Amino acid sequence: MTHNVLVVDDEPKLCDLLASALSQNGISVFTAGNGLHALKVLECEDIDLVISDWRMPGMDGPQLLAEIKSRFPQLPVIVMTAYSTVKNAVQSMRNGAFDYIAKPFDIDELDITVSKALQFRDILKDNQRMRAELDEHQQIDSLVGDSPSFRRVLHAIDSVRESNATILLTGESGTGKEMVARAIHKHGNRADKPFVAVNCAAIPEGLLESEMFGHRKGAFTGAVADRIGRFQQADKGTLFLDEIGEMPLALQAKILRALQERVIEPVGDPRERKVDVRVIAATNKNLLDAVANKEFREDLYYRLNVFPIPLPALRERVEDIAPLARHFANTLGAAAGKRFSGFSAEALQAMANYSWPGNIRELQNCVERATIVASGSVIEEDDLPAYLFASRPADSGVLIEHNGVPADLEAALAEVEKAYILAALQQSNGVQAAAAQLIGISERSFWYRLKKLGIHVDKIVR
């Protein structure tokens, strides 16, 4: 396995020396003269290990270490320091460095330290790969349900899986759009080819074009080597464009051309590359509204909307809650070494009464918590999180007439709205931006509702 190591030092001769020594062991070496340059390399390249000097102009070693631990928490860092500052290196290890080497260092000592760090990195990558494979298996198996609305989804998957048509998955956040995309790929005619997923909202706008189409070395500051983009990675397979509604307008035209012409142009390279990619896009936005507001290209919308599959919210398929909960309990319980025979009738009724603003993702998290706290083989009502019961009429304080009609409609609606927001905050561990996304409103609108309803988020749990 070829490893990529980034050496960061403001002395070019030392960078060259380390590059020469490490390359003899089959390691590809990238160099950077300061911390800011190093971060740009890390954004563009798949680096397995960073070797950084302690003292550098601008961003020094400790500052760079802090940034790496924040942005790339599983990337090992070796700190280089003079003998006189060994105590500082020890402090850096407390702050997350893998190890340190003291200058001047012996090449054999360097080789041993680097070898240990790369072995550590390989173990982390193997664990990530196994978790990803397990997650994919669980996600595909999670297409559970027999409600009429979900049967329509299954029928659509069966109808389109063998074709190469572009698919647009729509639905609220957490309804299982990536699960459906993976199922279509796994059971289609490209199952033995790559499935590449891209979250269009998670990549900075300045890097999105390079991420999609790749770039040539020297195309921009930090492009220290050629890189292929996601379209080429997915060649002959499936490219899943999640949250396509968040894609910047400037890039939408290039995505449209890639879909129409089946060609791409890497950044900094005028030569076209042919690609054979089956595209599945997903969004929780109303793209027709976005088109009307000039936020999304109309021609791209129709190019994506060849075969639309709307996914129902979990509250629209209440009869599927129990089988989904049992499935999650069996899967998550087995992973934790527990075996569950099911849920009590009271627990199932409580889950059926809840509105699930976070949909399947929220249900899975709820069941995971229940499997942790449950003491017996049956998951009881008391094992479920308390927020499931926040919207019960008996607990809400809303006056109800004898025929079940609210005496104060505004108060009743406010209680429902409050229950949604509290559930979303619980689901997002208090992170307001994530909670707003869960229930499909803007952060500004979410903040307004917090103020209107008198909800105080005193502590954000990260």
Q: State pLDDT tens for residues 197-213.
A: 999 988 888 788 888 99
Mean pLDDT value of segment 437-444: 75
Looking at the predicted structure, is the pLDDT value of residue 26 above 60? yes
pLDDT tens, residue by residue, 243-280: 999 999 989 999 999 999 999 988 888 788 899 999 99
pLDDT at res. 394: 40
| Same domain, residue pair 265 and 401 | no
Residue 135 lies in a domain: no
Q: Is there a domain that residue 136 lies in? A: no
Determine, yes or no, domain membership for 137.
no
Q: Which of 290, 312, 334 is where one domain is finished?
A: 312
What tokens does 18 get? 């380390």
Higher-confidence position of 237 and 222? 237
User: What are residue 301's phi and psi, to 5 degrees?
Assistant: -55, -50
Q: What is the pLDDT of residue 137?
A: 47
Are both 285 and 426 inside the same structural domain? Answer: no
Are 247 and 268 part of one and the same domain? Answer: yes
Inside any domain, residue 70: yes
For range 280-306, the mean pLDDT = 95
Do 308 and 287 meet the contact criterion of CB atoms below 8 Å apart?
Answer: no
- Closest Cα partner for 113 from 83, 79, 75? 79
pLDDT, the chain, mean: 84
Q: Is the pLDDT of residue 80 over 50?
A: yes
CATH of the domain at 75: 3.40.50.2300
Give yes or no: residues 453 and 375 share one domain: no
* Nearest to 365, CA basis, from 338, 336, 408, 329: 329
- Name residue 215's amino acid: H
Q: Which pLDDT band, with edges at 50, 70 and 90, does 300 fall under?
A: very high
Verify that 23 and 155 share a domain, yes or no. no
**CA angle in degrees (0–180, nearest 5) for 62-102-92:** 25
CB atoms within 10 A of CB 311: 26
The residue among 253, 216, 252 whose CA lies nearest residue 232 is: 216
% of the chain surpassing 90 pLDDT: 42
Closest to 424 measured CA to CA, from 347, 358, 361: 358
Q: Which helix (H) or strand (E) holds 419?
A: helix 409-427
pLDDT at 198: 93
The confidence score (pLDDT) of residue 398 equals 45
Q: Is 133 within a domain? A: no
> Over the stretch 103-144, which tens digit does the pLDDT of each residue have?
888 888 888 999 999 988 888 777 666 655 555 444 444 588
Averaged pLDDT for residues 441-456 = 77
Q: What is the pLDDT of residue 409?
A: 54
Mean pLDDT over residues 51-63, rounded? Answer: 86
Helices (H), 142-229: 148-160, 177-186, 205-213
Q: Does residue 442 carry a pLDDT above 80? A: no
Residue type, 115: S
Same domain for 201 and 181, yes or no, is yes
Write the CATH number for 293. Answer: 3.40.50.300
Residues 373-412 pLDDT 10s? 898 899 999 999 888 886 544 444 444 444 444 545 566 6
Same domain, 355 and 405: no
For residues 408-427, give the mean pLDDT. 72
**pLDDT tens string 314-348:** 999 999 999 999 999 988 888 778 889 899 999 99
Residue 202, φ and ψ in degrees, nearest 5: -95, -10
Report the C-alpha gap between 348 and 341 in whole angstroms.
13
Domain boundary among 369, 389, 409: 389
More confident of the two residues 254 and 58? 254
Find the mean pLDDT for residues 282-295: 94
User: What is the domain range of residue 118?
Assistant: 4-128
Contact between 280 and 306 (Cβ < 8 Å):
no
Domain final residue, candidates 95, 128, 161: 128
Do 216 and 250 fall within a single domain? yes
b/e per residue 120-153 (b: at least 16 CB within 10 A): bbeeeeeeeeeeeeeebebbeebbbbebeebeeb
> What is the tally of structural domains in the chain?
4
In this structure, are 298 and 417 located in the same domain?
Answer: no
| Domain membership flag for residue 382 | yes
**89 neighbors 79 (Cβ within 8 angstroms):** yes
User: Is the residue at 445 inside a domain?
Assistant: yes
Query: Does residue 179 form part of some domain?
Result: yes
Q: What is the pLDDT of residue 380?
A: 94
